[in-house]
Amino acid sequence: MRTDRPFSSSAILLAVCLFGWTARFDSVLATELADVMTDAEDQATFRWLLQRAEAEPEFHFRGDRVEWVGFEGQSKYDCGLVLDSDGHVTQAYFNKQAFDNKELAKLAGFKYLHYINCQHNFGRDKGGPGVPRSGTNVLSGAGWSAFKDHPIRYMRLAGSPFDGEGLSAVAGIKALHTLDIFHTAVTDDDLRSLRGHPNLEEVIVGPMWDDKITNETLEHVSHIPNLKRFKVVETYLSYDGGLEHLAKLGDQIQKIDLGNTVVPPEDLQRLRQELPHAKISHAPIPEIGQLIIDNWKGADRKLRKWAPAEVIDHYVRAAKEQAP
């Protein structure tokens, strides 16, 4: 569908009737977004994304309104920009887009964003999910500093070579309430950047069984003054030097999800006793033990390099005893 005239509401309605929920437009219409994307900077940033990906735009409708825009033929989670009723881009989804630190400054053109899911930010000849063994990590996330004044409340940066430089940048986003840095290069010491963050309420981490995230992380997050929810998986934790820091938060902490983390049973029981009002979740020990037996994501190989063998063996025995 091509036209030399700008979008009109009647044209949008016609597109809905003819093509259902999704209407596809060629590159000529990439410059004619004013009726659906009302902010000039939003428009310019979307055009940059299209040019960068050599993609055509695709508009997705709910009723007679464009709900989100993205790349033609691709999922919302590859590139999806959700519009509010005023036509502002307020939510963004990206997967494997490999935005480097310089490009994040351009992405900051979406100044109304309050929700960002930028996961698996690697590829495009810039590197894989791990941190480069040498040289500069151009995917570190340091460029998120360009978002420090944005109204972002939720960030998911999982599965990326996001590291301590990136976390320092994100810590400067004072509107942030939820931060998910699951499967990143962030370490215990990097979490120090979040101490004293004024609005952060939820943190999610998971080091894939490496000793990057350990008891020390719990000490740092316990100094986040408004922390209410904390999730940590795929690691080893103990009460002394670790979980005790969460216990000190008292009624402030509402939910702790330990997932498949290896924790001595008596330490888990003590945490529950110290925080009777908090919802504390932990997978069954035999279930976690089976993950170790299966070496799921390297669980057995990695844990045995640094976690107490007697605790690991306890989990393994529990799995074997429950096996049919």
Per residue in 73-90, pLDDT (tens digit) is: 999 999 999 999 999 999
Question: Domain for residue 60, yes or no?
Answer: yes
Label residue 9 by pLDDT band (50, 70, 90). very low
pLDDT at 32: 63
Q: Is the pTM of this model over 0.85?
A: yes
Give me the chain's average pLDDT, please: 91
pLDDT at 10 over 70: no
pLDDT at 323 over 90: no
Strands 229-232 and 255-257: parallel
pLDDT at 41 over 50: yes
Question: Domain for residue 148, yes or no?
Answer: no
Question: Domain for residue 197, yes or no?
Answer: no
pLDDT at 209 over 90: yes
pLDDT of 285-311, one tens digit each? 999 999 999 999 999 999 999 999 999
pLDDT at 130 over 90: no
Question: Domain for residue 104, yes or no?
Answer: no
Question: Domain for residue 190, yes or no?
Answer: no
Over residues 211-237, mean pLDDT: 99
pLDDT at 3: 30
pLDDT at 208 over 50: yes
Over residues 219-229, mean pLDDT: 99
Instruction: Please answer whether residues 235 and 213 qualify as being in contact, where contact means their C-beta atoms are separated by less than 8 angstroms.
Output: yes
Domain count, the chain: 1
pLDDT at 6: 38
Calculate the alpha carbon distances from 135 to 125, 128, 182, 239 in Å: 15, 14, 24, 38
Question: Domain for residue 40, yes or no?
Answer: yes
Question: Domain for residue 44, yes or no?
Answer: yes
pLDDT at 28 over 70: no
- Choice among 79-88, 117-126, 189-198 with the minimum mean pLDDT: 117-126
What type of residue sits at position 128?
G
Share of the chain above pLDDT 90, in %: 83
pLDDT at 131 over 90: no
Question: Domain for residue 185, yes or no?
Answer: no
Over residues 230-250, mean pLDDT: 99
pLDDT at 29: 55
Task: Select the more confidently predicted residue: 33 or 186.
Answer: 186
pLDDT at 203: 99
Which domain does 48 fall in, by range? 1-75
Long-range contacts, stretch 205-208, CB < 8 angstroms, 24+ apart: 205/181, 205/231, 205/232, 205/233, 206/182, 206/231, 206/232, 206/233, 206/234, 206/235, 206/259, 207/183, 207/234, 207/235, 208/183, 208/234, 208/297, 208/298, 208/302
Label residue 5 by pLDDT band (50, 70, 90). very low
